[in-house]
Amino acid sequence: MSSSAAVEPGRACHGLAVRLPSAPRTDELQARLTRATGCRPALKNLRLWAEPVGLPSGDPVALRRRAAESRRALAPGGPGLRAVLLTYDDGPADLVLVAHRAVLGREGLARLASALTAADAAPPAVGEPPAACEAPTATRRLPAWGLGDPERTGAHAAVALNVQARASDEDLLAAVPLVLARYEEGERPGTGVVREEEEECGGPPDFPDGERPSVGTVLTRARPGQVYEPCAAPLFPLTLWWERGEDGTVRGECRFDEDAMASEIAVRFALQVVRTAERLGNRSPGACGTDGAATVAEAAGMTAEEATEVLAAGAAPPPAGHTPVTVHAAFEAVAAAQPEAVAYSGPDGTLGYAELDRRAEHRARALRRLGAGPGTLIGVCLERGADPVTVMLAVLKSGAAYVPMDVRHPRERLRNTAEDAGVTVVVTGAAGFPAPAGTRVTSPEELDRMGDDCHADDGTGSGLRAAPEDPAYVIFTSGSTGRPKGVVVPHRNVSALLAATRHDMRLGPGDVWTWFHSGAFDFSVWEIWGCLLTGGRLVAVPYWASREAGEFRALLAAERVTVLSQTPSAFAQLIEADRGAAGDLAVRLVVLGGEPLDVRVLKGWFDRHPPAHCRVVNMFGITETTVHVTSRTVTAGEMVRRSRSVGTALPGWSVSVRDAEGRPVPFGAAGEIWVGGTGVALHYLGRPDLTAERFVEDPFGGGRMYRSGDRGRLRPDGGLDHLGRMDNQVQLRGFRIELDEIRAGLLEHPAVRAAGVVMAAGPDGDPAGARLDAYVVLGAPASPGGIRGSLGRTLPDYMVPSTVTVVEELPLTVNGKVDTARLPPPALGSADDGTAEAAAPGGEGPVHVILDIWRRVLGTAVTADDDFFELGGNSLLAVRISAAMRDAGLPSVGLREFYLNPTVRGLEAAMTAR
């Protein structure tokens, strides 16, 4: 982020207040002022402003008044100096001088104050005031970690720090980049420095051409009887000011632009600088080489107190009185309490709680006979319906854990899953399940028949039951690379998830839940057990209804569904379907998860279902931490503010943001999200290496933690901002690019309703031809070129996608996430919108020669009027084209000509004109 502020005269002004034991006569003071400054024509008629404060000199309001007076900026184009005499009710007075640095430096201010208050003091040399300057100030960097409020542009804050430190100037300066590195990992940002002794040279360094550093330090020395103010507006977006007293200690204040920094961040940053400087100062004298380096590394980290603070902010204590139980025990308790209540309904009929329990018990016997028990895994590959629910429950009752598989997954993947999991039995309805050798394949019907054959005394009616610590299910998640890995989740995590949400979401027997998601996606764990362990009715959504929003909407209305869980992508489609649909919905709670949420998609929903009737909760979650991690109720107000926060940790869970070494980073800084607490899964099945890498013991005392691979930042209130996947970061021609950032930029466009971005390799995998392709769903008419153009205003060039393709909807995976593999080929340039006729290849004349070269190099259809850059062109390809043109006997063209004439026709015309 950067912003160009209008004239900011305050940055060049500084002030000095001198306490006088009694108020002098104003006419005498005015005469001295005229004598001292009258040599400059601009200051000839400088007026002394005398004003009673109306309060005693020691009153806190009076002290605030003096501080405000000392940092009151001068008007641009004025005399560059102001003298104010504040008189107090109890006798004393303050002389406050504010000057443009070009008129008076620090020493000059002090000497002018002496000249005005003591008859024999010589006045300082006074400089010429600068002409009013309307030019914008240097571009400021607005650091994302500052959590500033963009609506506060132009507003400044001054906060005194309650510290008295002994650190040296050098250590205070050396500490700033060390602390900054905690906030801006991997970057080497510059920092600014202004020293009092340098100020006599006309002022602090300006940054006319480059960027003003986001953090800078001002060093001054306290002088008895004087209260100094180094800047009327912050010299840097975050300005740390250290004033060294006569006793050698420093006191600190920070000044900051409120659009760049939140007060909590600015103050903490400043305090971290003090502590780091003091630790630097504590290096043993004479330490050098490795010893010295080690201490610097140590000083660069947060102190234990600082780390404790951020860790505590991200952790939510578990709900009081919760005792972990197994999933089936919890279900049996509900079934005993409400045996006749409907537990399940779907196209295949309904089941009461007692009946469901009885059937599951029956099948559990059969499973035990097949060898199921604690320590074994049973595959469940069934179409959504009553059968998979009873079978999953039966597996748990048998003491085993279930491995859900999606009947629509490719055979190869099903075989891999069964093999990797080492399931002993697979329960499936489909013929020809690709079972690995040694795996028993059975069906629910067969289990029923086997159950009928079991006798009360054959041992299948009882057996070892699972404990809360034992695995309940294993879900295979596909990482961005490599083979899917099985996440082993114990019973106690599911009961902790319900304990964390039941009260807050008022989940209970009156609720009707949809079961929308594939059993292989852990959102279904939430749907199935969230419902059945709180006494609700679970409505299975037939596959065709889960793919067609209109049908799904009709089902919600017909079944009077109250609790709906959706991915934002699927929910956006439902909102569309809901727009024109008749019939009331009874939905009182929408739980969104599985994908980042763009809150704006909720507008259509809130229009029809106000938050007072239907609560929308956005949840960030990971399979490895038991479905959910954080939750946040999204209000209409947050929608309007476009909040990106995913909320705070669920009770019992903890979130923290860490650097590459696993150290907590400060509030506001981006890093990897680590999750701890009761939701952390046991391990990856059969992957000790990966388990050791991702499930780690927290060196900071947070217990076992899961390193999520997601980027985020923690706010001082414990709220987490989700910034996308760490591995959504791609490398393109040397730039590290966050695809999610581009996606967020696309969604800023008012016409764009949904968006996705992918990086495409060049023809034949040529890295020089790699480009970014954007896909958008429009809610209002807009041209791809216009969207691309608007993106160019907020993102650096290298992040602007080469193509923008409008699609009817974004294809979704079985799990409801954007399926990048099924996106259509990108629309390249105008060739796709039918406005230009594609020239046939192989013609004659320079235009056709150039066209052929472009087609070859770009690997796509090209017309004479297509824009090179919209076709995915870049400087590397331009160089290649230029070389090919030279080889073909055409005049060579420079890069500059390419940028000025980015079409074949334009290029040809430019060559002809030469």
Partner 1 sequence: MRLTGRTALITGAARGLGRACALRFAEEGADLVLFDLGEHLDEVPYALGTPEQLEHTAGLCRKSGAGVLTATGDVRDPDTVARAVEAATDRFGRIDVLVNNAGIAAPSGKDLHLVEEREWSVMLDVNLSGAWRMTKAVVPGMLARRSGSVVNIASTAGLVGYRHFAGYVASKHGLIGLTRAAALDYAPLKVRVNAVCPGSVRDDPLVDGRMLGEIARSLDVPVHEHEETFVQRQPSNELVEPDDVAAAALWLASDESRRVTGSVITVDGGFTVW
Among 30, 38, 40, 78, binds partner 1 (CB under 8 A): 78
Interface with partner 1 includes 72 (CB under 8 A)?
Answer: yes
CB of 114 to partner 1, least distance (A): 24
CB of 805 to partner 1, least distance (A): 35
Distance CA 552, CA 550 (A): 5
CB of 51 to partner 1, least distance (A): 7
Distance CA 591, CA 633 (A): 9
Q: Give, as ranges, the residues between 451 and 480 that touch partner 1 (CB under 8 A).
A: none
Taking CB under 8 A as the binding criterion, the range among 48-56, 116-124, 584-592, 697-705 that sits at the site for partner 1 is 48-56
Interface with partner 1 includes 83 (CB under 8 A)?
Answer: no
Taking CB under 8 A as the binding criterion, the range among 63-71, 656-664, 692-700, 758-766 that sits at the site for partner 1 is 63-71
Distance CA 68, CA 342 (A): 69
737 touches 731 (CB < 8 A): yes
Query: What φ, ψ does residue 242 adopt, rounded to 5°?
Result: -115, 125
Taking CB under 8 A as the binding criterion, the range among 65-73, 579-587, 681-689, 880-888 that sits at the site for partner 1 is 65-73
CB of 509 to partner 1, least distance (A): 45
| Pick 156 or 628: Cβ nearer partner 1 | 156
| Pick 154 or 699: Cβ nearer partner 1 | 154
Lookup result for tokens 């015309």: 909
Taking CB under 8 A as the binding criterion, the range among 4-12, 384-392, 682-690, 697-705 that sits at the site for partner 1 is 4-12
| Pick 79 or 213: Cβ nearer partner 1 | 79
CA atoms within 13 A on the CB side of 692: 3
Buried b (16+ CB within 10 A) or exposed e, 783-818: ebeebbebbeeebeeebbbbbbbbbeebbbbbbbbb
| Pick 44 or 733: Cβ nearer partner 1 | 44
Among 39, 44, 49, 584, binds partner 1 (CB under 8 A): 49
CB of 260 to partner 1, least distance (A): 16
Long-range contacts formed by 604-611: CB under 8 A, 24+ apart: 604/575, 604/576, 604/578, 604/579, 605/571, 605/575, 605/578, 606/636, 606/639, 608/578, 608/579, 609/585, 610/636, 611/635, 611/636
Among 11, 14, 82, 753, binds partner 1 (CB under 8 A): 82
Among 39, 68, 160, 761, binds partner 1 (CB under 8 A): 68
| Pick 155 or 909: Cβ nearer partner 1 | 155
| Pick 150 or 410: Cβ nearer partner 1 | 150
Among 20, 36, 53, 392, binds partner 1 (CB under 8 A): 53
| Pick 34 or 416: Cβ nearer partner 1 | 34
| Pick 155 or 297: Cβ nearer partner 1 | 155
Interface with partner 1 includes 93 (CB under 8 A)?
Answer: no
Distance CA 576, CA 525 (A): 27
Among 42, 55, 696, 807, binds partner 1 (CB under 8 A): 55
Cα angle 848, 849, 855 (rounded to 5 degrees) comes to 85
Lookup result for tokens 């406050």: 96
Classify residue 649 by its DSSP letter. E
Beta bridge partners of 655: 675
| Pick 78 or 190: Cβ nearer partner 1 | 78
Q: Is the dihedral of CA 331, 336, 342, 346 positive or negative?
A: positive
Among 1, 31, 44, 51, binds partner 1 (CB under 8 A): 51
CB of 599 to partner 1, least distance (A): 20
Closest of 392, 466, 475 to residue 427, by C-alpha? 392
| Pick 56 or 410: Cβ nearer partner 1 | 56
391: alpha, beta or left? (left if phi > 0; alpha if psi -120 to 50): alpha
Interface with partner 1 includes 660 (CB under 8 A)?
Answer: no
Classify residue 78 by its DSSP letter. S
Interface with partner 1 includes 74 (CB under 8 A)?
Answer: yes
Cα 335 to chain center, whole Å?
42
Classify residue 431 by its DSSP letter. T
| Pick 66 or 492: Cβ nearer partner 1 | 66
| Pick 154 or 510: Cβ nearer partner 1 | 154
**Beta 653-658 vs 670-677: how paired, if at all?**
antiparallel
Distance CA 214, CA 211 (A): 9
Closest of 323, 349, 403, 364 to residue 537, by C-alpha? 349
Beta bridge partners of 704: 697
| Pick 54 or 786: Cβ nearer partner 1 | 54
Among 64, 449, 733, 886, binds partner 1 (CB under 8 A): 64
DSSP structure string for 628-644: -SEEEEPPHHHHHHT--
CB of 132 to partner 1, least distance (A): 8
Taking CB under 8 A as the binding criterion, the range among 6-14, 312-320, 830-838, 872-880 that sits at the site for partner 1 is 6-14
Number of residues that bind partner 1 (CB under 8 A): 31
Among 12, 16, 62, 126, binds partner 1 (CB under 8 A): 62
Interface with partner 1 includes 65 (CB under 8 A)?
Answer: yes
Q: Give, as ranges, the residues between 116 and 175 that touch partner 1 (CB under 8 A).
A: 134, 151-152, 154-156
CB of 137 to partner 1, least distance (A): 12
CB of 745 to partner 1, least distance (A): 23
Angstrom CA distances, 496 to 320, 323, 327, 526, 538, stand at 11, 8, 10, 12, 20
| Pick 54 or 825: Cβ nearer partner 1 | 54
CB of 245 to partner 1, least distance (A): 27
| Pick 79 or 801: Cβ nearer partner 1 | 79
Starting at the earlier edge strand, list the strands of the sheet with 752-760: 752-760, 771-778, 803-806
Among 39, 75, 558, 761, binds partner 1 (CB under 8 A): 75
Cα 662 to chain center, whole Å?
18
| Pick 47 or 603: Cβ nearer partner 1 | 47
CB of 640 to partner 1, least distance (A): 12
Among 54, 610, 701, 750, binds partner 1 (CB under 8 A): 54
Angstrom CA distances, 751 to 598, 716, 825, stand at 14, 34, 22
Classify residue 280 by its DSSP letter. H
Taking CB under 8 A as the binding criterion, the range among 1-9, 242-250, 403-411, 619-627 that sits at the site for partner 1 is 1-9
Lookup result for tokens 């013609």: 843
Interface with partner 1 includes 234 (CB under 8 A)?
Answer: no
CB of 237 to partner 1, least distance (A): 17
Interface with partner 1 includes 253 (CB under 8 A)?
Answer: no
CB of 65 to partner 1, least distance (A): 5
Interface with partner 1 includes 39 (CB under 8 A)?
Answer: no
Cα angle 398, 399, 401 (rounded to 5 degrees) comes to 105
| Pick 65 or 368: Cβ nearer partner 1 | 65
Cα angle 329, 455, 325 (rounded to 5 degrees) comes to 10
Among 61, 297, 761, 895, binds partner 1 (CB under 8 A): 61
Distance CA 345, CA 537 (A): 7
Cα angle 75, 224, 105 (rounded to 5 degrees) comes to 35
662: alpha, beta or left? (left if phi > 0; alpha if psi -120 to 50): left
Residue ranges binding partner 1 (CB under 8 A): 6-7, 9-10, 47, 49, 51-55, 61-62, 64-65, 68-69, 72-76, 78-79, 82, 134, 151-152, 154-156
